[in-house]
Amino acid sequence: MWTLWPRFELDDDPLWVTFDTGLSRSLLSEQPHIFAPVAQPRDWVATLQGSGLAERILREQEITRVISTGATPAVSFFPSARLRGIPCHYIESAARSAGPSVSARLVKMLPGVNLYTQYPAWAGGRWHYVGSVFDGYRVGARKPEPPDVPARVVVTLGTQEDYSFRRLVEALIAVLPSSAEVVWQTGATDVSDLGISARETIPAAELEASIAKADLVVAHSGTGSALTSFDHGKCPILVPRLARYGEHVDDHQLQIAAELHDRGLAINCPVEQLGPDVIADAMARTTEIVANPPRFPLYEAARR
């Protein structure tokens, strides 16, 4: 949402409602914001708690529209907003290339919610395609003389609670050169017995600075990790978490990795295929920010 917001071209000043994370604190430090109760996927108790927050915000503040990129905040806010006649816009996550999420199917049942997919393949009916967050990036030129081995590496597993990704950490310990300076951001993954210096979370500004200097970025296949890499010209190796190993609630990270691989912006690599050739390929690639990305018109605005 942070990346898409300028492309809406709205005159309103936004009030941001999201979870309290290192990234959200960094991005929203100078923006009006309220932190919602943290809710893991399909955490209905926390979703109901978020509904109480939504009632209070909508009652006390002058809200003209509600826009969400999904998950539990949308399910919490949209019913109260629609009861008040407030326009709602649900932009399905760029993770969902094959179809809508559970949250999307729930909010679709509410009358008057404007629905957007970031993939034209499943647009139709109430689902509109007006662009994607990834339209703001393109493939850059290959480096003429990339390093033979990475000197500086960033490994980021995101900050999602309750989901470990130890398979990736163990594979990288085996394949990365011992000479490399590695920044490990490991989230909920317990690495205390692996002999590495890791941090559960890293402030967004610090992580971005490390990515900007890195020869190589390896990340779980989360949209935020990918976008941060692109912002600094990096072609990351994206390794999808898999539900069968208890690494996520479902396999949507496969969809993110596949889409970005097809666009040439990232390398989609299963844990089992990590190796020197993949690392060398990633270090030779670059990405670029599109100077004037296309508008992302909200449907109510497009009809006027």
Q: What are phi and psi of 220, to 5 degrees?
A: -65, 160
Asked if residue 172 and residue 98 are part of one domain, the reply reads no
DSSP string, 161-226: TT---HHHHHHHHHHS-TT-EEEEE-TT---TTTT--EES---HHHHHHHHHH-SEEEEES-HHHH
Asked if residue 267 and residue 150 are part of one domain, the reply reads yes
3-class secondary structure, 227 = helix
Q: Considering its fold, how many domains does the chain have in total?
A: 2
Please give the Cα distance from 14 to 31 (Å, whole number): 8
Q: Are 22 and 16 in contact (CB under 8 A)?
A: no
Range of the structural domain that residue 158 is part of: 141-285
Asked if residue 159 and residue 86 are part of one domain, the reply reads no
DSSP 286: B
Asked if residue 186 and residue 270 are part of one domain, the reply reads yes
3-class secondary structure, 106 = helix
Please give the Cα distance from 72 to 46 (Å, whole number): 8
Asked if residue 129 and residue 66 are part of one domain, the reply reads yes
- Could you tell me which of 118, 33, 117 has the C-alpha nearest to residue 73? 33
Tell me the per-residue pLDDT of 138-184, one tens digit each, with 9 for 90 and over. 999 999 999 999 999 999 998 777 899 999 999 999 999 999 999 99
The per-residue pLDDT string of the chain (304 residues; one tens digit each, 9 = 90 and over) reads: 988 999 998 988 899 998 887 778 888 989 999 998 777 666 667 777 788 889 999 999 999 999 998 778 888 899 999 999 999 999 999 888 888 988 899 999 999 999 999 999 899 999 999 999 999 999 999 999 999 999 999 999 987 778 999 999 999 999 999 999 999 999 999 999 999 999 998 988 899 999 999 999 999 998 889 999 999 999 999 999 999 999 998 888 998 999 999 999 999 999 999 999 999 999 999 999 999 999 999 986 444 3
Asked if residue 256 and residue 221 are part of one domain, the reply reads yes
